[in-house]
Amino acid sequence: MGNNVSENVEKKPSEEAPIEVVIVGAGHRSLLYASYAKLHPEQLNIVGVVEPDGERMNLTKERFEIPEDNCFADLEEFVRRPKMADAVINGTLDHLHVATTIPLLKAGYDILLEKPIGVGADEVLQLYAEARRYGRKVMICHVLRYAPFYESIRRQIADEAIGDIVSLTTSENVSYHHMGMAYVRGKWGNKDRGGSSMLMAKSCHDLDILTWMKGDVRPVKVSSFGSLQQFRPEKAPAGAGTRCMVDCQIEDSCPYSARKNYIEQRLWRAYVTYNKHLGVSMSDEELAESLRTESPYGRCVWHCDNDVVDHQTVIVEFEDGCTATHVMTGGVSKPGRSIHIVGTQGEIQGELEEGYYVVRHPDARQGHVYTEQRVDLAVSKDMHGGGDLRLVEDFIKVLRGAAPSISSTALEKSIDGHLIGFAADESRLEQRIVELKGVGV
């Protein structure tokens, strides 16, 4: 099927009818994007689901009123069917992104693909080649580009408000409770299980921001340092056990206590109760029993099978001589993302969670050093600064033939940040500077 590629390319969705989409991988992120259909049913309609987990499939089917015939346990069964929608939201696990997307492209579907694109440079470039071959649109879920904070800064750069960029510095501080849940106890704590390094799982957004701010100027060299310094058995405090609620003598005072984080504070419930984000409810008593017994989220953070870094610094050189640095640190008290861009005529600095940034310019008048303009933004309190559903809105517009926005995360515009991340992990492990030859497309 999908043999007549040109016919698929030329056919555009109606501007009146909603875009029809199939969910492939009914996980937390794909269902968040799909929730746009509940808010704007006139624009988006979820018509199918591909999900091997029977419970997730049935709950997704009920939530979006999907016909039984449009529910599939595996991808092969789905792509054998005649094309039944305009596009797919692919929210599979990291190591499955490319392997699942290529058959979907061949079957004629445009794709909204969760980040990271893939788990290696070769497969990312292979996906780009296949998307071009079949003439399909692929957008990557780099939602920070759509956050009003970053979009506004990008427009300042495009308008040359601070001249040419000389240096960029970004940081991502990952809270102790997020670090413990996702990157120590959770599936992203182990590279073989999660499919990606912590840098690529958590900070590929930030590496993408660096390349996006630079526009068409290409990165050429990468160096990186980092390690797993904190969350190792030999770093465990005296009295630590193997499970928080079973054999730990310091659980009551430990900030990583599973009881305190997941039951009392109710943090990350959608993850630690598994299908809760699909509507499945778990009582505190049921969760407590799970944390005491089989749940990986009940383990001591110093006695897990985690092997990803808990801190890493990346340094990038661009072809015009500009340099960029990203610092990722896990286990901090106050989480947040910051950015500082210095140009030839001024600078921009701010923190995403604060909801504003400042633009400064040199001012050599007597009694002055610089002028400063504060730019306030209406920033959502969600973890991506309000970008999640704005990404979906733009995806719909692109499928209907609109010109790409300044935030466009088209596949060809999203590759360089990934290649920086892969090179950074290579640099860290091999302790050398990595040159990016033929970066991007």
List pLDDT tens digits, range 323-351. Answer: 999 999 999 999 999 999 999 999 999 99
Burial 242-280 (b: 16+ CB within 10 A, else e): ebbbeebeebeebebbbbbbbbeeebbbebbbbbbbbee
Distance of alpha carbon 155 from alpha carbon 116, whole angstroms: 25
DSSP 259: I
Average pLDDT, the chain: 92
Please tell me the distance from the alpha carbon of residue 330 to that of residue 359, in angstroms, as a whole number: 29
What local confidence, expressed as pLDDT, does residue 13 receive?
Answer: 67
Angle at 385 between CA 87 and CA 207, to 5 degrees: 75
Give percent of the chain with pLDDT exceeding 70.
Answer: 93
- Token pair in block for residue 75: 């991808």
pLDDT at 78: 97
Strands, sheet with 44-50, edge to edge from the N-terminal-most edge strand: 71-72, 44-50, 19-24, 87-90, 110-113, 138-140
Question: How many C-beta neighbours within 10 Å does residue 134 have?
Answer: 20
* Domain spans, the chain: 5-140, 145-230+307-384+409-435, 233-298
Average pLDDT of span 409-429: 96
Instruction: Please name which of 344, 349, 311, 343 lies closest in space to residue 328, comparing C-alpha atoms.
Output: 311
Nearest to 72 by CA among 83, 86, 61: 61
The reported pLDDT for the residue numbered 359 is 98
pLDDT band at 15 (very low <50, low <70, confident <90, very high): low
Average pLDDT of the residues in 139-149: 95
pLDDT tier at 271, thresholds 50, 70, 90: confident
pLDDT tens for 59-79 read: 999 999 999 999 999 999 999
177-181, 268-272, 321-325: least confidently modelled range: 268-272
Mean pLDDT of 27-35: 92
Per-residue pLDDT band for 397 (boundaries 50, 70, 90) equals very high
At the fourth CATH level, which superfamily is domain 5-140? Answer: NAD(P)-binding Rossmann-like Domain (3.40.50.720)
For the cut 60, the answer to whether the pLDDT of residue 274 exceeds it is: yes
Longest dimension (CA), the chain: 75
List C-alpha distances in Å: 10 to 83, 134, 156, 188, 221: 15, 12, 35, 40, 40
85-109 mean pLDDT: 96
Residue 125 pLDDT exceeds 50: yes
Q: What is the pLDDT of residue 441?
A: 43
Range scoring the smallest mean pLDDT among 11-20, 51-60, 118-127, 214-223: 11-20
Residue 295: Cβ-neighbour burial (10 angstroms; 0-12, 13-18, 19+): buried
Pair 416, 210: CB distance under 8 Å: no
For residue 428, what pLDDT band results from cuts at 50, 70 and 90?
very high
* pLDDT above 90 for 16: no
From residue 226, give the alpha-carbon distance in Å to each of 64, 229, 352, 432: 43, 9, 24, 13
d(CA 57, CA 38) in angstroms, rounded, equals 18
Check if CATH label 3.30.360.10 holds for domain 145-230+307-384+409-435.
yes
SS3 state at 341 = strand
No. of helices (H) and no. of strands (E), the chain: 18, 15
Joined tokens for residue 308:
């990803």
Residue 343 tokens, joined: 């140009």
Q: For residues 230 and 237, what is the distance between their CA atoms, to the nearest angstrom?
A: 11
Question: Over 90: is that where the pLDDT of 315 sits?
Answer: yes
pLDDT at residue number 279: 58
Average pLDDT over every residue of 397-423: 95
Give DSSP secondary structure letters for 153-169.
HHHHHHTTTT-SEEEEE
Sheet of 347-351, strand order: 370-376, 356-362, 347-351, 336-343, 165-175, 323-332, 311-318, 219-227, 434-435
Q: Say if strands 165-175 and 336-343 run parallel, antiparallel, or are unpaired.
A: antiparallel
Asked whether residue 233 carries a pLDDT value surpassing 60, the answer given is yes
pLDDT attached to residue 12: 59
Through-space distance between the first and last CA atoms of the chain, rounded to whole angstroms = 29
- Give the model's pLDDT for residue 9: 41
Round to whole Å and give the CA distance between 231 and 184: 7
Q: Spell out the alpha helix ranges (H) of 369-438.
A: 388-399, 415-430
For 114, 174, 225, 321, 327, the CA distances from 424, given in Å and listed in that order, are 21, 19, 8, 18, 12
Picking from 158, 150, 35, 142, the residue whose alpha carbon sits closest to that of residue 385 is 150
Per-residue pLDDT at 2 exceeds 60 = no
Whether 383 has a pLDDT exceeding 60, the answer reads no
pLDDT at 384: 55
